[in-house]
Structure 1
């Protein structure tokens, strides 16, 4: 396991997971496997993969910016980061993996490993069991929603919450806990804006499962909040997450 968990270590972990993929495999399929994106609609799948690759590009640029701030010579990491950006380029999704893996030269993991140890630890890893539980809970709630008797607009709101969790699970490999911080913030706004719709669903199994899903999300983040004092917004996110849970719990009776 990486000494520090940060943007560089996440990029390195992803590159380690793809470097042995078969030359004949389409890049599209390689990235779908990495981010666990399964969708029979090829356009939707491509869009989801593209968003993850854009997130990885942002992570690459974050590493570049932070290393520069610390005063390290750009020639120690720029070539590697440029190769990463080429590897993560959306326009290459239809290429064969053989042409893309050429970017993973021997110095790439070395430079990324160097950066990951230089840059500070950002967070603790969310354990795989928690991530698997969230995925299962989202799928279960979506299944419940398919036969729900709640009004259409209420089902649509809950469906948006499920989608947010699913997207965060997909993005986690690329951006870490930020993925869940963002959905908690978004959920807070959704709950406040749709308070009456949630009140109409009071006591329903759908609301109970939604509340449990957000409780699991917050629990998964609690350790990160304790370990990660570098993000000034983390405390605010934790507070908003608690308010979401309190509101939903009060209705889940």
Structure 2
């Protein structure tokens, strides 16, 4: 029995290593391509790196608006994350702890919004951003991404689990609703807030289609959209394309490696799984 279990564990471990290798190979190939000259890339280099040429990275950093794209991505992602968490926690607290007419109906609307795919709203959002004069501005990228129902649902689940005696004691001490939220309820859920913040930031950073629609000025583009301009500027330049793709993915990959436990926790929570 023990031998069979050890054998099964070894087989599962071998399978996991195989899956990791399959997943890692495209990243490895992108890196190998990015450190080759364009002539070598087109000439069909082998799988193993045969040169270490940083010309593509230098061209991308100094001959494109890469740094500006970084600023736009960091700025829009940070503002979106902060506003989403603020609005989400206040809405969830109201739905969970404040009794008002239509509360259940409003929560039902929040749940029903999960049935609407984001892609179905892009045209209407673009028209609205154009009417508001937010095309080629940060507002055009940020405003359509402020509605994240999963944040409201997750916060509400945890606010519902807080003992009512804690709220009653704070109310007897004269605490207002805002003080209850930010001094009592929110500190109990900093782990959830951190996890949701990381996932929201990564999702906003990786968003492509919406910024692609509302931004046409190269200086206002985010990293995912800016990658397309490298292709247009240099033609079919595979080394440069791979270079900017790796540079664009690096911050998110580093953030995930640092906060992977929180990211996993947020994914499990948003899927309805409580640890």
Relative to the length of structure 2, the TM-score reads 0.27
* Structure with greater contact order relative to length (CA < 8 Å, sep ≥ 6): 2
**Structure with the bigger percentage of helix:** 2
